[in-house]
Structure 1
């Protein structure tokens, strides 16, 4: 059933596109097949060197709701910002060019936004692997959030997911909020938190609407470089913003500790110039160790790992390196 009526609000779907000639057509067709009809696609071709732009032009000729912007390569954040500046819809969402959406995702989310007067609506998603396996991500807590502190805590705890693509946003509410083009990692989380911070009502729905495709060829997830350190700058942004809110601050600190530990784990799993950052990152956790021991918001598993990291760092680094090199790769 197609929801084709002028009474329903337009949804702007922003797709940053870069060298995805093997995936972009199926992505767009999953949107064309939506039962919700009143949408526009803003596909920002970010200087693709393959035939992605040509494929988009062909799709645009067949469906006038598809708009193509060809720009010089500036990265995913800049491409999304260009999309935001050109969006005409009452609601906005994002799709990655190699992903797909299920046929009813936007009819359900728009209906929820209207029925419960929500500024943001979120659904669950699933990860698709190249070998055909699927992992469903359903750890969000269904309900409507109206308390600002609870909203930010839900962001830090990932009940409100750190990604931008599982949500629709009311354009008037998030007007002026843009992606930080200076950072390469955790830019989604920063954008989501800033949008949530200005929202009065956020609804979390318990259905899987988005399909996130994990390509082994798109990025080697075992490699880490200086760009990953932008995770720390995003953590510092949150710490500065919420340092006077005692209720939220514990969860902001927890996010910082776990994000820092994530970086340490990634760096420990390889050998190279990034090793020089281990003492700096470990110091961030050492400064907070007393708070961590006393807090009940950390899992015991995390506390044990942090204890080993603080007091037996070389053992921790070596163990994680061995685990990633021999054990993890065997599964």
Structure 2
């Protein structure tokens, strides 16, 4: 009997995208699928669309629930999972038809606990592929747990995203997503990866990550600070289990702190009185020595920290100057992603 793969698809207000997502799953070349559609109290026609697919295909199972957010929907879906593997798919994204087959084959070949697919950033008229570290033709990269955790903390080759990865179900079943937060994957991924013995990265992009103007990451609000809170919560775990990665973890926190301070400054109406900016400023001040040590090999970040500690306004001015120099091409921009026009 070939392994069963359960795909968990949380659904909320994606009426115009849902069909493309579900049909890309139904077209998978892998034969043993369980497709769990979780209608998270969507106020549009998503529930009816999901029910229609369930009526047409016995592999589809629909759960209707009151709205509780993405984490809650995933958790409810996980309670229904019966597969040997689980794959999370957000309902506005879609898959290459061979994705599941390729990932299962690689999991079996390498005895991998988790397999990660490369992906496209999918816009209406073009795709972007991150070819800074790998090309499509490269052989799969196999990581043990120590290397995996390092790459997860760096967050370049291994992203925090739950989607686009095939997990052995027993690895993740009893680790729920944190409810009521944005960027829930940052609170979750390190706990699951900590259990993995072997992790495989595939370089052929088989997942299409839709970029939406109305997505939760497109418009800044104070809730976006959940990302920073997630990094701090993860840091406690990293410091306890992977002390050698503490500096890199602090570096991530510093970078995110500066970015969010800048965003709060640009959206002052979201931080009337400046309490959120002061919270960031106090954290940087109270952890200055650790953050300074973490940034010492990154000249740009180290300079930003120096100006920020003297006064955040100096950091903001420095930031504007650097952006201006990049625009004038006095300072080179980092290498971009490969663009594929549609």
Alignment TM-score, normalising by the size of structure 2: 0.84
Query: Could you tell me whether the CA contact under 8 Å between 1:47 and 1:73 is conserved in 2?
Result: yes
Cα separation, partners in 2 of 1:252 and 1:205, compared to 1, 3 Å: same
Give the deviation of 1:22 after TM superposition.
Answer: 0.6
Residues 1:252 and 2:249 aligned together: yes
Match of 2:275 in 1: 276
Query: What is the DSSP-based 3-state SS (H/G/I as helix, E as strand, rest coil) of the residue aligned with 2:54?
Result: helix
Q: Structure 1 residues 38, 155: CA separation in 2 closer, same or farther (over 3 Å shift)?
A: same
Write out aligned runs for 1:1-331 (5 A).
7-130=1-124, 132-138=125-131, 143-146=141-144, 148-158=145-155, 159-182=157-180, 184-219=181-216, 221-225=218-222, 227-244=223-240, 245-274=242-271, 275-295=274-294, 299-317=298-316
- Cα distance in structure 1, aligned partners of 2:162 and 2:128: 19
Aligned to 2:338: none
Structure 1: how far apart are the matches of 2:312 and 2:255?
16
What is the CA distance between 1:28 and its match in structure 2? 0.5
Residue 90 of structure 1: CA displacement? 0.4
RMSD of aligned C-alpha atoms? 2.5
Partner Cα distance (1:167, 1:201) in 2: 13
Structure 2, unmatched stretches of 5+, are 135-139, 328-342
**How far off is 1:266 after superposition?**
2.0
Q: Is contact 1:140-1:204 (8 Å) kept?
A: no
Taking structure 1 as the reference length, the TM-score comes to 0.87
- Structure 1: give runs of 5+ residues left out of the alignment: 1-6
Count of aligned pairs between the two proteins? 316
Higher relative contact order (CA 8 A, sep 6+): 2
SS in 1 for 2:268: coil
1:266-302 Cα offsets, whole Å, 9 max, x none, are 2122222423211220232234444444447753332
Contact conserved, 2:5 with 2:84, CA < 8 A, in 1? yes
